[in-house]
Amino acid sequence: MEEQGLHIETHPREGDPLLRAGRPDPCIMVLFGATGDLAQRKLFPALFELARQDLLPRNFAIVAFSRSEQDLEKFRAQVKEGLRKFARTQPLDEAIWERLASKLEMMSGGYDDPEAYVRLREHLDRVGERFGTQGNQLYYLATPASTFPSLLKGLSESGLLYRENPETKRPWRRLVIEKPFGRDLATAKELNRALSTVLDERQIFRIDHYLGKETVQNILVFRFANAIFEPLWNRQHIDHVEITAAESIGVEGRGRFYDETGVIRDMVQNHLLQVLALCAMEPPISFAAEDIRDEKNKVFRALRPMQGGEVAKYVAQGQYRGYREEQGVSKDSKTPTYVALKMYIDTWRWQGVPFYVRAGKGLSKRVTEVSIHYKAVPHCLFSTSDTCQRLQPNVLNLRIQPHEGIGLSFESKVPGEDINIAGVTMDFDYSKSFQKPVPEAYERLMLDCMRGNTTLFARQDSVEQAWAWVTPIIEALDSGKGGEMHTYEQGSAGPDAATALMARDGRRWTVLKW
């Protein structure tokens, strides 16, 4: 890749992959909430792309379960229309669509109707026989969390879901649930308790689409496959770390849901703490799923709690102007659409290094990234203090979206007789450099569910540890003890209080760009 004087070469290693993904098992995917927004925008486009790349199991079928009576052909037409809008590869390949549509079945019934699950079991027996899926079933709950208890009860009492026993050879059962995994620590524990009464933890896939992003997965490879970075990945060399998830859009018709959720539940408790854990974890003893998840959980356990008045000191919240006029939003809403936090991880590696996390809607750019800010040079060799003040510390930027890639900034001499110093950024663009499109997160995550690979999914203990840290912050903000709600203009970088949070430490946020 050559662009504006920059030349980047990639050298794929010959031989077998370090980890071979393998083809997923034959199975039926039972999709609850198949007519919903998530299914139309994300799930069916992901399944279509997997079919286009011939990555789905050879013996595979989808059974869409709907609470409302639906005609199969009309439903298939609805899915096709959604693919024309949201599929990654356009125009739609008709032959691939016909092949996928032939595997798409449907039935309807009430979530709290025991007879519906009996009919579902009989339907799945017929579909399994026709498609040769060997009895394996993957249940995907793309539904509101309020429906989980009814669905779990119906599926388990009808014998569709059961706890797997390694000593008894039976077709596998797996369950995928979408966030939010509870609203606070108490409800997360209650949900996990309900899940554990029916299934073993290895059968539960709590899906967080951020973990399916290629560039999030690349954090592990970047850290642990490059000897030049990991020795510098600690408190002795790093001044601070920034994690940003900025969205330029508002609530986009999801006002009622968002007003009950807020930015901390929607973004921080799950997505951003998961990214933080990948950046802060210790090297695992292997790339096996549980070894990685063990190290991530240690990070959540090491998060320093915010006590009493510390929330007002270390957290800034905001709401974009016009949010209360959005459809479905309360006219006196106190729900934050922006939050900035200063947090610490009390481990040997990170003691004293602040992690600044920010997330918000209605901002100037859409960007998710991690910025590792290294310490300034310990002694200035140049003649004037003015020159020394112009020197900027090195920054390593891991871009998760958009324009996925990695940037590294350093200081360099400008050509000429005088010694002038300029900042330089070396930039690596993920898709351009490898000349391959970056797959959507749901494509990878769906395959991993079918393979039984839990690496990229949240484990029970990690979910509860994250909620244990976040819940007191939410409670302090809700009670008014966590500081005032600041307003900010749409299209800005967020409230001034977030700028002040960094400025008090003599630092400033990275400018939102891309």
* 3-class DSSP string for 92-139: CCHHHHHHHHCCEEEEECCCCCHHHHHHHHHHHHHHHHHHCCCCCEEE
Q: Is 7 a catalytic residue?
A: no
Planar angle of CA 214, 357, 208, nearest 5 degrees: 40
Which residues make beta-bridge pairs with 372?
241, 396
| CA–CA gap between residue 11 and residue 233 (Å, rounded) | 25
Cβ atoms of residues 268 and 359 within 8 Å: yes
Catalytic residue among 209, 271, 373, 403: 271
Phi, psi of 370, deg, nearest 5:
-120, 130
User: Taking each helix axis from N to C terminus, what angle separates 273-280 and 214-224, rounded to the nearest 10 degrees?
Assistant: 20
What is 351-390 written as a DSSP string? TT--EEEEEESSBS--EEEEEEEEPPPSS--SS-HHHHHH
Q: Is the dihedral of CA 120, 122, 126, 129 positive or negative?
A: positive
* Eight-state DSSP code of residue 458: B
What is the separation, in whole angstroms, between the first and last Cα of the chain?
A: 19
Catalytic site positions: 271
